[in-house]
């Protein structure tokens, strides 16, 4: 058996990588890095999200990569109330929350929103 220890990165297929990067940088404080042949990645903590432009993905790739097909949950600092206030101030629509959920390590309080491609983004606050 192979034992997984952590998630290094994931790939989001997006319509417009620059627009996506701006959203995640401005709203969630991720840092944009360029690597390889003008590839883009969003870094946070010890993880990253590689951005692939739809129709121009890097090989190998998922069988059916599509913008808006991801459902991601990020652990964030502070309280759900504080995050909700920041989202409202930024003009971002909160789809649901704050609502209690069960995270990987225990209870969380979550807010749901969508990124520019319609991916569902959960902002989780540890209880």
Which residues carry out catalysis? Answer: 122
- CA dist., res. 26 & res. 84, Å (int): 15
CA 98, 100, 102, 103 dihedral sign is: positive
CA 73, 37, 14, 87 dihedral sign is: positive
- CA dist., res. 101 & res. 38, Å (int): 38
């Amino acid at each position: 058996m192979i034992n997984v220890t952590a998630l290094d990165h994931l790939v989001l297929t997006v319509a417009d990588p620059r627009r996506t990067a701006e959203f995640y940088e401005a709203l969630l404080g991720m840092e944009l890095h360029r690597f390889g042949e003008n590839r883009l990645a969003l870094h946070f903590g010890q993880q990253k999200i590689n951005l692939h432009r739809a129709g121009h993905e890097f090989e190998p790739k998922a069988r059916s990569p599509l913008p808006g097909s991801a459902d991601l949950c990020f652990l964030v600092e502070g309280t759900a109330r504080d995050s909700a206030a920041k989202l409202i101030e930024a003009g971002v629509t909160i789809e649901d929350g704050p609502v209690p959920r069960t995270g990987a390590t225990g209870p969380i309080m979550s807010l749901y929103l969508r990124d520019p491609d319609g991916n569902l983004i959960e902002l989780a606050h540890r209880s």
